[in-house]
A and B are shown apart, each in its own frame.
Chain A
Amino acid sequence: MALDLGMPILVVDDYQTMVRIIRNLLKQLGFEDVDDASDGTGALAKLKTKKYGLVISDWNMEPMTGYELLRHVRADDALRTTPFIMVTAESKTENVIAAKKAGVNNYIVKPFNAQTLKTKIEAVCGA
């Protein structure tokens, strides 16, 4: 199954540079419909107004972290099946296990490269 390049993707990160990097990488992969939010609260508001095919989120943000966003998404009947990739500098095993338990689909440690992002998106979105 080929990747659906038309699917909307939501990038959540409080660093605009990182948002820009991920946006460019996604653009190189062929994704055009990319939105962004600077924390979990903003992301949750966008998720409730538009159907996204994938969420790519940082962990460490204020006031709502990516981990809290993930738990909100998985607790919401309308959003619970949305694929969710955590892209973060939080690399302790306890973080990875907590995210997995909370229902994350994949986990990327910063810094990462385009190939890693592509591989994870393919794994999560079933290419």
Chain B
Amino acid sequence: MACASKAEPAGPAGPTIPVNELLEIADYITKLKRGIAALRAQELTRDRIPMAHDELGSVVAATASATNRIMESAEAMLEIKAKTLEEYRSQVEAHIGDIFEACTFQDITGQRISKVVDALGQLEKRLSQFSTVVNVRDGEAEHDPEEARRKARAEKLLLNGPQLKGPATPQDAIDALFS
């Protein structure tokens, strides 16, 4: 196209867009479509995210169930009223067996959590590739008012949550503040 980089003259309807800009826009749209396709958003919302939701729900239910079983056994042991040592030992061993059984949840929840970690890794990879393709920074996005409210509340009420790798301030240091 001989005139691809030249500006078109203004017509009766007003100024026209230069052809090279149109080509850039077309190129950007093509890249954007490829980026959106690579996101595989339908697969994420249809399969991976519901799967992660279900798996985490199962993990919460399994850990709660196991904790309840373990606590029930421990509470039952505290209440044992046996007449002989043998009888006491037998009842304690039965409860310890229940505790061991309850602890089997860990293997299954470990596998479930691995699936969720894998799904999050896939999501992170695709979003990272997409943001590179569209070349948009976080600051250009509109802020979610619900998220802003949640952040403001957490900041005001000092809701930092548990720290990774143990408490940020050890109990001894806290005790020193109260001594």
Contacts and interface: CB of A to CB of B under 8 A. Distances in A.
The 4 closest A-B pairs by CB, nearest first: A91-B167, A89-B162, A109-B167, A91-B168
Contact of B158 (A24, A89, A92): A92
A93 B169 contact: yes
A109 B159 contact: no
Contact of A17 (B71, B160, B173): B71
A81 interface: no
Contact of B157 (A24, A67, A89, A106): A67
B133 to A, nearest CB: 39
B27 to A, nearest CB: 49
A126 B174 CA distance: 19
A109 B71 contact: no
Given A109-B169, A109-B171, A95 B177 contact: no
A108 B175 CA distance: 9
Nearest to A65: B157
A112 B160 contact: no
Contacts of A108: 171
Given A17-B64, A20-B71, A94 B171 contact: no
A100 interface: yes
A35 interface: no
5 contacts: A17-B67, A91-B163, A92-B158, A92-B169, A93-B169
A18 to B, nearest CB: 10
Q: Pick from A17, A108, A123 the residue with the most CB of B within 10 Å.
A: A17
Interface in B148-179: 157-163, 167-171, 173-174, 177-178
Contacts of A17: 64, 67-68, 71
A68 B153 CA distance: 12
B67 A96 contact: no
Contacts of B159: 59-60, 65, 90
A48 to B, nearest CB: 22
A92 B168 contact: yes
Q: Pick from B160, B171, B173, B174 the residue with the most CB of A within 10 Å.
A: B174
Contacts of B67: 17
Q: Pick from A28, A89, A90, A110 the residue with the most CB of B within 10 Å.
A: A90
Nearest to B64: A17
Contacts of A24: 71, 74-75, 78
Interface string B57-76: 00000001001100100110
Contacts of A97: 177
Contact of B160 (A20, A68, A92, A123): A92
Contacts of A68: 157
Interface string A51-80: 000000001100001011000000000000
